[in-house]
Structure 1
């Protein structure tokens, strides 16, 4: 093969490759993405969204393979100088599986109902923005949803009980909002395996549903709310829970007979009205963080396990708790 033939071959290869790559982007998806860009006031963050290029090469998104005809499957807009509201056109990305708007402090308004058209959506993350309005009841229409994070916003109202109808939902984070009302009783009847339930830093009130005791949740954070009453149903020696934070509520129950899993690494019950003695069984857990301060506990802190590895801060301001690392019992 001489030099001229080689150059001609390389030219044809480059031409064909470029031509084929331009065909990857679905025309409807490209038009929808350009509408989204316009709705967000054409931010520099989306400068790569050039209508003359293949949308599957644009920043902030991914396309699927040939099995879904190279449709847009992921849209992730993160940490950009973007103002406005979530464009309703996102609901027209028919094959979307992942939708993320995160750390966009000038992103305001409510969650658009058009996302209910995203029947393949599995991962929804709308966090660290300034979204307002409710946690929408219409989210229960996203039957393939596995992951839901709405944390660090200005959402208000109560948590919709209909979220428990989602057959695959395994992670919920609505922490650091302005949510009120109770934890839905229906949350004890999730169909799938719930690995994380984060409700902290809200104004959620009422009792912890006993039905939640039916679930084996790996990580639970209900801290800094207005919960009251008995939360003992959340515990159990046969569970696989690794993290429980119930601090800074108004919980009142006796822990004397409460058993904790031997998988528990973090337990924070501080700043409540909890009574009773710390059970000896708690020495069996591989605790890395532990705090029961500011309660109404009494009796001897059991010896053994991890309980003496924590300083007095983890225990102080209780009614009559004693023993290392506090003063010895009289």
Structure 2
């Protein structure tokens, strides 16, 4: 059965990639087609891209959607193709690309900064690969999914002013401060930071008004839980295995999620954990 996270990813992906598919060969953009042929070569011609041939419209190829008016490629899907290669540099030529979905491969090496410079890209999913190094400061993309890689270091300062809706970075080796992702007026509605080494004071962060998924367990986050967390209708919530302290703000969420989502902290107390002394 798919996990809750996988169901969320599937919903998010369908919501953000509902662009019409172009079937007319006459409208296939020539420059984009050349870029895709180059991408296929840079990926060592994997079997999953066998439909990418020069004698057919690029807009009919597997994993490709195009704008119905311009013929420009807007969507590139390389999902679980067992590809072992760096991120193809020719993706930089797809300047109308809106969604890049390439999880569950074996992409290795650093994340190229050019991905964040694609002018229309709003959805970047590279989770479940072997990517290393730090996150480029250019990756201020609306929906950023980089979980399950080997990324290290702190988040770029540029993320403080980014307009994120979804940030999914769990299962990496990221460190330092992530408090600047928060902010009452920000549009962030889903934040997954679990299983990293983030360390920051949660006490005075302002929870975004639209945030309904907060999963930050298994880090080194300290301070106390902000009072406003008690009033939210959380879809997912987990602050376990951190260094948090003090009384748990009481609300329906404490009963709904139970002790498991609050446990193994330094000195959190109150229902659903032990009473405060």
Whether the TM-score (by the shorter chain) exceeds 0.5 is yes
CA distance in structure 2 between the partners assigned to 1:135 and 1:119 by the alignment: 24
- What is the CA RMSD across the aligned residues, in angstroms? 2.7
Aligned partner of 1:162 in structure 2 is: 114
Aligned partner of 1:281 in structure 2 is: 228
Between 1 and 2, higher relative CO (CA 8 Å, sep ≥ 6) is seen in: 2
Work out whether 1:199 is the aligned partner of 2:146: yes
Aligned partner of 1:325 in structure 2 is: 272
Pick aligned residue for 2:253 from 289, 292, 306: 306
1:94, distance to aligned residue in structure 2 (A) = 5.7
Pick aligned residue for 1:128 from 80, 85, 110: 80
Aligned partner of 2:102 in structure 1 is: 150
Change (3 A) 1:141 1:92: farther
CA deviations 1:129-150 (Å, max 9, x no partner) are: 2011111233121100000011
TM-score when scaled to structure 1?
0.66
Aligned partner of 1:242 in structure 2 is: 189
Aligned partner of 1:104 in structure 2 is: none
1:263, distance to aligned residue in structure 2 (A) = 1.5
CA distance in structure 2 between the partners assigned to 1:236 and 1:98 by the alignment: 42
Contact 2:215 2:237 in 1 (8 A): yes
Secondary structure at 1:164 match in 2: helix
CA deviations 1:284-329 (Å, max 9, x no partner) are: 3321211011000000001235344320000110000001110110
Aligned partner of 2:42 in structure 1 is: none
Secondary structure at 2:229 match in 1: helix
Work out whether 1:171 is the aligned partner of 2:171: no
Contact 2:225 2:248 in 1 (8 A): yes
CA distance in structure 2 between the partners assigned to 1:139 and 1:72 by the alignment: 15
1:279, distance to aligned residue in structure 2 (A) = 0.7
**What is the aligned residue count?**
238
Structure with greater Cα Rg? 1
Q: Which runs of 5+ in 1 are unaligned?
A: 1-60, 74-82, 102-117
Secondary structure at 1:204 match in 2: strand
